[in-house]
C-alpha cells in the first residue's frame, strides 16, 4: 500500500512563498538564531524596534520558519487582535505551558502597551525555561525591561532601512533584476514594504518605473492601506497635512500654523500614529508614508497642500531669522526644485550623517582622491591638520567616509586661509562687500557617493561656517561634476571668473550667490513662494489686522456704519471711513494671491463670498462649480490668507 503524503495546506504554500522571498537582515537573523540556542542564549527577550514598513513582521515570520524547522513550537500573537485586558493573552500563552522549547512572537506591541507590566511581571515568568520571546513594535521598550534583573536576559534590535545591496537582493528574490532596480532602490529608501510593492508593480507592467510611482493610484492605495488608512479617521486634515508637509512637527509649529485648533490634541494624535517617530523635540513621519500621503494630498486637495506649505514656510522663516539657524534644514525640505535640492537639502539623513573629523580621516580621504585632484586636496588637507573645526565629514551608518566639506566665514577663517590660492581671493572679495553682509565660503564639498551626500554637505557648510545668516555664498564649482554648474545657475549665482582658482590643469570656478538683504532664510522663503506661484512677501511693517478684525470687516463689508467702526478705518465721515476699509481690503485681495489656477480660485471664492456676495454662500459655491464642503474650505483659507497679508503689509500712511 502506497504511503500517503502529508496533507499540504494553503498556509504551507504561503509560508513557502515568503521563505523564497525573504532577503536581508543577515546580522539580525544571526543574532536571533544564537538566541534560539537555549543552552547558552545571549538573550531570552529581544525587542525589535522600528517604524511602519521597515520589516518587523517579516523578520518575525522568517524567525518563526527557522524555529519550526528546528522543531521549536511557535506562538504568534498580534497586538491588533488583543484588547487592553490580559485575559486573551493569558489564555493564548497557557496553551504553550507544556512546550519543551518555545518561541513567542508579540507583534504590533504598541497596541498592547497597556499590558506591558503584566507581561513582564506575570506572563513571561510563567513560560517554560527554554523560551525565547521576540517583541516587535514601533516604539522604544519601557526602561523597566533593562532593570531589576531583566537587563541580564533582554536585548534590543533597532531595524533601520535596508542598505542598497540588501534592497537589490530583495528585488532579485521577487524576480526583478532589470535596469529599473537602482531607481526603485532609491525610491523605496530602504523600506522592504515599498520594495515589495514596487517589485510587484514592475513585474506586472514592463513600463512601470519608480519615477512614475507617485502618479500610480494603485501603488498609493496599497501603501496607504498597508500603513495608515485605518489610523487617520479622527485626525483633522490640516493637522495631518502639517505632518505630511513639514519634516519635523513640534507643538509650537502646530500652535502657530493652526490657530483656533487644539494643538495639544493634534500633536498627541500624530504621535500615536504607527508611521511617526520622535525627532528632537518634535516628531517626524516615516518617509515612505510621507511620500504616499503627500502624493495623495496633492491629488485630492492641492489647495490645502499649498496653503500648509506656505504657512510652515512663514513659521520657519520667522524662527530662523530670530536665530534658530538649524531650521534651515526644515526650510530646505520644503523646496521641490530638483536642481536646488541637488546641492542643498537633507534628503540623505536616513542613511548618512554629518560628523566631526576623526584621527585617520585625512589619510583615508587622500586614498579616495583622484590623481588629478591631488593639488586641491593638498590645499584642503591643511584645514584637517590646523583648523579641524572648519571641516565636517559625511559618513554612512557603518561609519565609512562618504564625503567631506570645508567651510568658513570672515570671522572663522583661519589665518593661513588668506594665503590659500583658492580661499584667499574669495576672502578678500568678501571683505570688500562686508558692509552689505556676512559671507560663507566653501573651500571644498566633495561627495564620494556620486550625489547621495552632496546636498547634505551644502546645508552643513552653512550651519558650520560661523555666520548666523550670511548675505553671500562663495561656491567652488567643478564644471566636470554633473549638476554642479546647473545647481549654481538655478540658485541665481553669478560666475566671478576673475576669482576662479587655477590648480595645475584644473580650474575651480567661483560662483557667488547673493541671498539678498534678508539673508539665507528669506532667500529660501522666496524660493518656496515662487514654487507655489506666490509673490515674495513684502518686508514686514507695522501689523494692522488680526484674523478676528478681518472677519468682522468681511461680515460687514456692505454695511458702511459697521465698517466705519473698524480700527483700520481712516477719514472723518462714516462714508470716508467705510470706503477706506473697502479700498484696503480690495488692495490686499489683489496682492495676497498668486497667478496659478488654484490661487485665482481662492480669490474668486473670497470675492463671491464677501466682497461682491451673491444671495447666499450656497449660490456662490454653485456659481464656482464647487461642492459646499470644498467652497467653505477654500473660503476659510482665503480669509486667513487675506488677514495674514494685511498684517504683514501694514496700513498705508493715508488711505482716504
Give the Cα separation of 534 and 594 in Å (integer): 4
Is residue 132 helix, strand or coil?
strand
Cα end-to-end span (Å), the chain: 109
User: Which H helix or E strand runs over 496?
Assistant: none
**Average confidence (pLDDT) over 356-376:** 85
Question: What is the sign of the dihedral through the CA atoms of 627, 630, 633 and 636?
Answer: negative
Q: Which pLDDT does position 537 carry in this prediction?
A: 83
Between 19 and 544, where is the model more confident? 19
Residue 653, pLDDT > 50, answer no
Residue 635, pLDDT > 50, answer yes
DSSP type of residue 249: B
All three cell numbers of 73: 513550537
**Average confidence (pLDDT) over 510-529:** 92
- DSSP line for 107-127: ESGGGGGGGHHHIIIIIGGGS
Phi, psi of 535 (to 5 degrees): -70, 150
For 347-523, CATH gives 3.40.630.30
Delimiting residues of CATH 1.10.10 domain(s) in the chain: 240-334
Delimiting residues of CATH 3.40.630.30 domain(s) in the chain: 347-523
Phi, psi of 242 (to 5 degrees): -60, -45
Going by C-alpha positions, the residue among 15, 35, 31, 27 that lies closest to residue 102 is: 35
All three cell numbers of 501: 582658482
**Average confidence (pLDDT) over 385-400:** 89
Which CATH number is 10-158's, of 3.30.43.10, 3.40.50.150, 3.40.50.300, 3.40.50.720? 3.40.50.300
Q: How is domain 240-334 classified at the CATH fold level?
A: Arc Repressor Mutant, subunit A (1.10.10)
Give the Cα separation of 377 and 366 in Å (integer): 7
The answer to whether residues 49 and 156 touch, using CB atoms and an 8 Å cutoff, is yes
pLDDT in tens, 245-301: 999 999 999 998 887 788 999 998 888 776 777 777 888 887 777 887 888 888 889
Between 179 and 15, where is the model more confident? 179
Q: Which pLDDT does position 222 carry in this prediction?
A: 63
- DSSP line for 199-230: HHHHHH-TT--GGGGGG-HHHHHHHHHHHTGG
Question: What is the sign of the dihedral through the CA atoms of 345, 350, 356 and 358?
Answer: negative
pLDDT in tens, 112-126: 777 888 888 888 888
pTM score: 0.65
Residue 611, pLDDT > 90, answer yes
Distances (CA, A) of 364 to 380, 401, 481, 654: 14, 8, 22, 67
The answer to whether residues 185 and 171 touch, using CB atoms and an 8 Å cutoff, is yes
Q: Would you state the torsion angle of the CA atoms of residues 306, 310, 316, 321, taken in this order, to the nearest 10 degrees?
A: 150
- Count of CB atoms situated within 10 Å of the CB of 561: 11
Amino acid at each position: 500500500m502506497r504511503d500517503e503524503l502529508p496533507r499540504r495546506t494553503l498556509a504551507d504554500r504561503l509560508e513557502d512563498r515568503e521563505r523564497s522571498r525573504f532577503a536581508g537582515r543577515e546580522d539580525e537573523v544571526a543574532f536571533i538564531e544564537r538566541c534560539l540556542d537555549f543552552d547558552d542564549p545571549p538573550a531570552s527577550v529581544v525587542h525589535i524596534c522600528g517604524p511602519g514598513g521597515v520589516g518587523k513582521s517579516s523578520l518575525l515570520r522568517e524567525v518563526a520558519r527557522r524555529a519550526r524547522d528546528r522543531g521549536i513550537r511557535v506562538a504568534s500573537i498580534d497586538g491588533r487582535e488583543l484588547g487592553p485586558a490580559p485575559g486573551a493573552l493569558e489564555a493564548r500563552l497557557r496553551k504553550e505551558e507544556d512546550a519543551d522549547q518555545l518561541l513567542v512572537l508579540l507583534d504590533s506591541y504598541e497596541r498592547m502597551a497597556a499590558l506591558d507590566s503584566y507581561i513582564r511581571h506575570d506572563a513571561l515568568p510563567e513560560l517554560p525555561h527554554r523560551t525565547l520571546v521576540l517583541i516587535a513594535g514601533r516604539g522604544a521598550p519601557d526602561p523597566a525591561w533593562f532593570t531589576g534583573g531583566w537587563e541580564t536576559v533582554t536585548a534590543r534590535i533597532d531595524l533601520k532601512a535596508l542598505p542598497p545591496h540588501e534592497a537589490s537582493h530583495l528585488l532579485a528574490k521577487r524576480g526583478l533584476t532589470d535596469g529599473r532596480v537602482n531607481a526603485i532602490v532609491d525610491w523605496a529608501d530602504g523600506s522592504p514594504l515599498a520594495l515589495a510593492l514596487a517589485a510587484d508593480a514592475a513585474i506586472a507592467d514592463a513600463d512601470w518605473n519608480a519615477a512614475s510611482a507617485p502618479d500610480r493610484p494603485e501603488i498609493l492605495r496599497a501603501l496607504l492601506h498597508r500603513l495608515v488608512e485605518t489610523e487617520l479617521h479622527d485626525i483633522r486634515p490640516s493637522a495631518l497635512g502639517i505632518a505630511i508637509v513639514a519634516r519635523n512637527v513640534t507643538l509650537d509649529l502646530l500652535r502657530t500654523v493652526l490657530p483656533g485648533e487644539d494643538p495639544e490634541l493634534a500633536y498627541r494624535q500624530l504621535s500615536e500614529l504607527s508611521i511617526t517617530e520622535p525627532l528632537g523635540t518634535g516628531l517626524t513621519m516615516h518617509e515612505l508614508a510621507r511620500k504616499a500621503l503627500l502624493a495623495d494630498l496633492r491629488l485630492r486637495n492641492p489647495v490645502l497642500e499649498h496653503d500648509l506649505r506656505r504657512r510652515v514656510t512663514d513659521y520657519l522663516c520667522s524662527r530662523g531669522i530670530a536665530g534658530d539657524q538649524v531650521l534651515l534644514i526644515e526650510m530646505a525640505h520644503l523646496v521641490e526644485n530638483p536642481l536646488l535640492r541637488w546641492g542643498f537639502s537633507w534628503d540623505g539623513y536616513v542613511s548618512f550623517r554629518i560628523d566631526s573629523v576623526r584621527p585617520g580621516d585625512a589619510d583615508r580621504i587622500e586614498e579616495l582622491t583622484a590623481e588629478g585632484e591631488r593639488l586641491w586636496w593638498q590645499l584642503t588637507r591643511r584645514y584637517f591638520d590646523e583648523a579641524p573645526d572648519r571641516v565636517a565629514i559625511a559618513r554612512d551608518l557603518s561609519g565609512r567616509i562618504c564625503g567631506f566639506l570645508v567651510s568658513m566665514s570672515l570671522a572663522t577663517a583661519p589665518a593661513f586661509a588668506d594665503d590659500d590660492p583658492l580661499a584667499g581671493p574669495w576672502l578678500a572679495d568678501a571683505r570688500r562687500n562686508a558692509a552689505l553682509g556676512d559671507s560663507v565660503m566653501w573651500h571644498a564639498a566633495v561627495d564620494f557617493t556620486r550625489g547621495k551626500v552632496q546636498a547634505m554637505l551644502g546645508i552643513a557648510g552653512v550651519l558650520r561656517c560661523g555666520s548666523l545668516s550670511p548675505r553671500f555664498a562663495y561656491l567652488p564649482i567643478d564644471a566636470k561634476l554633473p549638476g554642479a554648474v546647473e545647481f549654481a545657475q538655478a540658485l541665481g549665482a553669478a560666475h566671478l571668473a576673475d576669482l576662479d582658482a587655477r590648480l595645475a590643469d584644473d580650474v575651480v570656478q567661483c560662483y557667488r550667490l547673493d541671498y539678498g538683504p534678508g539673508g539665507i532664510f528669506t532667500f529660501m522663503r522666496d524660493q518656496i513662494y515662487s514654487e507655489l506661484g506666490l509673490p515674495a512677501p513684502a518686508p514686514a511693517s507695522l501689523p494692522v489686522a488680526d484674523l478676528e478684525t478681518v472677519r468682522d470687516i468681511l461680515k460687514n463689508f456692505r454695511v458702511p456704519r459697521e465698517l466705519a467702526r473698524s480700527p483700520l478705518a481712516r477719514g472723518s465721515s462714516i462714508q470716508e471711513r467705510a470706503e477706506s476699509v473697502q479700498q484696503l481690503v480690495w488692495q490686499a485681495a489683489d496682492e495676497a494671491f498668486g497667478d496659478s489656477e488654484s490661487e485665482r480660485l481662492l480669490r474668486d471664492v473670497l470675492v463671491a463670498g464677501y466682497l461682491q456676495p451673491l444671495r447666499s454662500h450656497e449660490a456662490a459655491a454653485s456659481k464656482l462649480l464647487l461642492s459646499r464642503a470644498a467652497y467653505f474650505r477654500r473660503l476659510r483659507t482665503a480669509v486667513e490668507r487675506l488677514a495674514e497679508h494685511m498684517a504683514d503689509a501694514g496700513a498705508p500712511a493715508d488711505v482716504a
